[in-house]
Copies of this chain bind each other. A is one copy, B any other.
Amino acid sequence: MSKLTIKTLAKELGLSIATVSKALKDSHEISSETKKKVLAMAEQLNYVPNPYASSLRKQKSKTIAVILPEVADNFFSLAINGIQSVAETKNYHVLIYLSHESFEIEKNTVNHCLSGRVDGVLLSVSSETSDAAHFEKLKNENIPFVFFDREFENFAAPKIITNDYECGFLAAKLLLSKGCKHPAFLSTSENLSICSKRSAGFTAALTEEGFIKDKHEFVIDCTGTPDTIFDQVQELLKNNPQIDGIVASVERLAMQIYMVSVANSITIPKELKVVAFSTLETAPILNPSLTTITQPAFEIGKTAAEVLFTMIEKKKHNITADSVMILPSTLIERNSTLA
């Protein structure tokens, strides 16, 4: 079966192409009787308008792009569900792009979103992103965009984030209150807004308690695959047996801390207390159950999408850096931080 065009439809009905086209657009120039006939035939023949031709005419793609580092991560998969929940009510399609933490891929993807392919962009930056020229391009083309979770600091665009600094502070205070003398903070990349703010909060709490001499004793970068993270964590704990508490800045680090503790017979929480930034559903059934700072992932995605659609619909996209919304995270104490 060849594709059904409006021409075929018109021929089938014995009407002009213009009449059929107007009828499909519910034009007042066409009688309701003719409209009914056209719609019935369109339904019967399963006529679907060509989306590209239609986009060219309307200059609307009815599509938004979501650019994020990874989908095999609870935070992002929940955030995507939040985004989709809004897009569905707007009859919009969601293009999901993964940067895999690569600045190069992120730039190429943003370039690809220029020139009418999408009506707006939701973005959570890669850990390598060090320059904002690609965000400038979106702005110059008047394409609405919103940062969620991981923002690019010092770049003016709406940002939907959580209270990272405060939670880093809380996590350190919790470990100290449970008796830790040498807590460490595992970061993935100090480039990332979420990590730098969480670690700044952590460091501030330690400084306040008179704990710190050299920041680098306590804040350590860990990156790579699960295996390389395992090796880095194992190395760290071997070389620094005094470490008695860890704040994991993202959940994939927490998993490897548990794996290392199993492999090296380190008892959590007796020898090592652990608190993780995580939306992990299995946190309550881990061995031991994991104390988490749980981000409102679904709500962050949902709110970011709502802000984006406000911009798309009202064309308010000259937004300044002060349009930051902070949705607070929740500290949930479990057995991994028992005193």
Contacts of A52 in B (CB 8 A): 52, 55-56, 61, 116-117
User: Which residue, of A52, A98, A258, A284, has the highest number of chain B Cβ atoms within 10 A?
Assistant: A52
Complex contacts, A3 vs chain B, CB 8 Å? 115-116, 141
1/0 per residue A134-147: CB within 8 Å of B? 00010011000000
Contact of A74 with B by CB under 8 A: yes
Among B53, B56, B115, B288, the residue within 8 A (CB) of A48 is B115
Contact flags A281-294 to B (C-beta < 8 A → 1, else 0):
11011111100000
Q: Are A141 and B1 in contact (CB under 8 A)?
A: yes
A80 to B77, CA, bound (A): 11
Instruction: Determine if B287 and A258 form an interchain contact, defined as CB atoms under 8 angstroms apart.
Output: no
The residue that A95 contacts in the complex, of B93, B141, B289, with Cβ under 8 A, is B93
Separation in Å of the A147 CB from the closest CB of chain B?
Answer: 20
Copy tally for this chain in the complex stands at 2
CB-contact partner of A72 in B78, B93, B114, under 8 A: B78
State in angstroms the CA–CA spacing of A262 and B289 once bound together.
11
Knowing A72-B81, A114-B48, say if A262 contacts B286 (CB, 8 Å): no
With both chains docked as a complex, state the minimum distance between the C-beta of A291 and any C-beta of chain B, in angstroms.
14
CB neighbours (8 Å) of A284 from chain B are: 259, 262
Complex interface: chain B residues within 8 A of A117 (CB): 51-52
Selected A-B contacts with CB under 8 Å, 16 pairs: A3-B115, A3-B141, A46-B137, A50-B56, A51-B116, A51-B117, A52-B61, A53-B56, A72-B77, A72-B78, A72-B80, A94-B97, A95-B95, A258-B282, A259-B284, A285-B286
- Could you tell me which A residues sit within 8 Å of B by CB distance? 1, 3, 46, 48-53, 55-56, 61, 71-74, 77-78, 80-81, 84, 93-98, 111-112, 114-117, 137, 140-141, 226, 255, 258-259, 262, 280-282, 284-289
